Amino acid sequence: MKKIILLLSALLLVASLSACTKKKTEVTLKVWGSQEDQVMLQEMVDAFIAANTDKIYTITLGVVGEPDAKTKYLEDPEAAADVFSFPNDQISGLVDAGALYEVTLNKAAIIAANVAGSIDVSTVGGKLYAYPVTADNGYFLYYDKSVFSADDVKSLDTMLTKAATANKKVFMDVSNGWYIASFFIGAGNTFKTVDGKKVIDFNNATGLKVGEFIKSFTANSAFVTGDDAYLKGNIGTTIAAGVSGTWNASDISTVLGANYAATKLPSYMLGTTSTQMGSFAGYKLMGVNALTKFPEEAMALAEFLTNEANQIKRFETRKLGPSNIKAATSTTVVADVALAALAAQAAFAISQNSVPDSYWGPGEAFGLAMETKDYSKTIQEMLDAWVLQANGS
C-alpha cells in the first residue's frame, strides 16, 4: 500500500514540476462588481491585461453588488472572487472572518494617493486591508431652490417652518440606522471600540435629548419619510428638501432642473443649542481574498482598478466620487454639485469602523417607532433597548 502512495505522490510531483516549467504563468482571477459596473469593469480589466503581457491572465467578472459582498463571500469563501469591492462598514466583519489579504505591496504609495479618511477606514488594527475606490458613500441635503434659500437650509427648524407654510415636506428616512445616526453624531454621541468590542452610548443624557428632538421632528407636520423611490418621485412637487446620497444625484437634478441644489446637512436645535447634524463618511473599498491562489497578481489588479485613472473613469461613467486625492481635486469632480455638498459635509462625518454589527436592526426599530408615533415606551426605554441590543450583553 505504501508503494501505491509513493507512486501516486511521485506522479503528482512530476505533474506539478511540469506545470512550473511552462514559459508564461497562467493566472486565473475572478472579480466581483455590481451590475451597473460590469461594462466599465470589463474595460478596466481589458486594459490591465493589455498592460501586463508577462503573464497569461484569464480574468472573469461576477455580478455581486457591494452591499452583498460580505454575505456572498462568507457563503463560500473558496468560491468567492479574488478581488471584490465592498462598502467600508463591512471591513471589520471581513477581517474578523480572515477574508482579506493584508496590503503590503506599494503600501506607502496607496496611503499617499488616497484621502486620509479612506485609508483610515481601510485600516483595521493598524494594518491596511483594502484599496479605497470611492469616497462618495455618504449623505447630505438636496433641496429645491424655489422653496428654500441658501440661508434657509442652514437650520432644520427654519426649513420645517418654511416648508409647513409652503405646504411642502422635508424628507428623511429616519427609520434607518444610517440616517438616524446623523442626529446623535452631531450632538456628540459616540461609536467606540472598547477592548475590541464596538459600543454606542445613545442612551446617555445627550442621547435622550436627541431622542426627544427626533420625536418632535418626526411629529412635525412638514416631516415625511419613505424610501429612495419616494424621494425621487416627489421631490419638486410635495417634497422640498431631502437627505440622501450621490446615487440619487442624476435623478434629482433631472427632476429639479434649474432649482436643483445640494449642501451639507442643516443644524438643529438640541434644547437651546444649535447643533450641526453629523453623518457617516462612507467609502467603497476593494479587497483581495485571503484564499486567492495568486496573491501578488490579485493585489496588482486591485491596485490597478483603484488607481487615479480608473477612479476618474468611475466618475466619468458612473458619477462615483473618487477617494484618490489627485482625482478628487480635478476640475470636473470639484464642479459636481452633489460631490461638493458631500465634501462640505465631510467635516462633520465620522467613519463606520466602530459601528456594532447589531446596531442597524434596533436603529431601524427606533426610527420606525418615531415615524409611526408609537409612544408606548418612553424615549429612554427605547434608547436603552437599542443600546443593549447593539452593544450585546
Partner 1 sequence: MVKKALTSIHDLFNKYIMCFIKGDLSTRLSGLIMGFGMFTRGQIIKGLAYLFFQITFILFMIIRGLDYIIGLQTLGTVGQTRIFDEVRGIYVVYPGDNSMLMLLFGVATIFVVISFFLVYLSNLKTCYANQVSINNGIRPRNFRQEIDFYLNEKYHVTILTIPVIGTFMFTILPLIFMILIAFTNFDKNHQPPGNLFTWVGFNNFKDALWNDPLKSTTFFGLLIWTLVWAVLATALNYILGMILALMINKKGIKLKKFWRTIFVITIAVPQFVSLLLMSQLLADQGTLNVILRQLGFVKDFFPFLSNGDVAKFTVIIVNLWVGVPYSMLITSGILMNIPVDLYESAKIDGANARVQFMKITLPYMLFVTGPYLITQFIGNINNFNVIYLLTGGGPLTLNYYQAGKTDLLVTWLYKLTVNEQNYSLASTIGIFIFLLSAFFSLLVYNKTSSAKKEDEFQ
Pick from 78, 116, 195, 258: which binds partner 1 (CB under 8 A)? Answer: 78
Task: Out of 158, 193, 353, 358, point to the residue binding partner 1 (CB under 8 A).
Answer: 358
Nearer to partner 1, 271 or 361 (CB): 361
Q: Could you tell me the smallest distance in angstroms from the CB atom of residue 110 to partner 1?
A: 13
Q: 57, 27 in Cβ contact below 8 A?
A: yes
Asked if residue 380 binds partner 1 (CB under 8 A), the reply is no
CB of 301 to partner 1, least distance (A): 14
Regarding 77 and contact with partner 1 (CB under 8 A), the answer is: yes
Q: Which of 7, 79, 105, 334 is the binder for partner 1 (CB under 8 A)?
A: 105
Closer to partner 1 by Cβ: residue 170 or 333: 170
**The Cα angle at residue 344 between residues 253 and 275, in degrees rounded to 5:** 110
Query: Which residues, 6+ apart, have CB-to-CB distance to 390 below 8 Å?
Result: 199, 200, 356, 358, 359, 362, 363
Separation CA 113–CA 325 (nearest Å): 6
Least Cα distance to 222 among 240, 244, 236, 208 occurs for 240
Among 14, 19, 79, 97, binds partner 1 (CB under 8 A): 97
Binding track over 276-305 against partner 1, x by CB under 8 A: --------------xx---xx--x------
Q: Are 156 and 266 in contact (CB under 8 A)?
A: yes
Under the binding rule (CB under 8 A), the answer on residue 65 touching partner 1 is no
Nearer to partner 1, 308 or 357 (CB): 357
Q: Give how far Cα 337 sits from Cα of 83, 263, 309, 334, Å.
A: 32, 8, 22, 8
21 scored as a contact of partner 1 (CB under 8 A): no
Nearest CA to 351 out of 318, 373, 323, 375 is that of: 323
Binding residue for partner 1 (CB under 8 A) from 163, 281, 327, 382? 382
Cell 504609495 locates to: 109
Number of residues that bind partner 1 (CB under 8 A): 43
Q: Cβ of residue 391: shortest distance to partner 1, in angstroms? A: 12
DSSP 393: -
- Cα–Cα distance measured from residue 138 to residue 306, given in angstroms and rounded to the nearest whole number: 19
Say whether residue 272 binds partner 1 (CB under 8 A): no
User: Counting contacts by CB under 8 A, is residue 357 touching partner 1?
Assistant: yes
149 forms part of the interface with partner 1 (CB under 8 A) = no
- Alpha helices by DSSP H, listed for the chain, are 2-20, 38-51, 69-75, 91-96, 107-113, 116-122, 156-165, 177-187, 205-219, 228-234, 249-256, 295-305, 308-318, 325-328, 331-334, 337-346, 360-371, 379-391
At 128, the amino acid letter reads L
Q: Quick one: CA dihedral 136, 138, 140, 144, positive or negative?
A: positive
Which residues ranging from 219 to 238 are in contact with partner 1 (CB under 8 A)? Answer: 224-226, 230
For partner 1, give the closer residue by CB, 16 or 393. 393
104 lies in the site for partner 1, by CB under 8 A: yes
Q: Please select the residue that binds partner 1; options are 25, 71, 149, 332, rule is CB under 8 A.
A: 71
Angle CA 62–63–64, to nearest 5: 110
With beta carbons less than 8 A apart as the criterion, state whether 159 and 211 touch: no
| Least CB distance to partner 1 at residue 136 (A) | 25
Question: Which residues make beta-bridge pairs with 27?
Answer: 57
- Residue from 40, 161, 368, 380 that binds partner 1 (CB under 8 A)? 368
Given 74, 109, 309, 347, the residue binding partner 1 (CB under 8 A): 74
Under the rule (CB under 8 A), what is the footprint of partner 1? 1, 5, 71, 74, 77-78, 93, 96-99, 101-102, 104-105, 224-226, 230, 290-291, 295-296, 299, 357-358, 361-362, 364-366, 368-369, 371-372, 374, 377, 382, 385-386, 388-389, 393
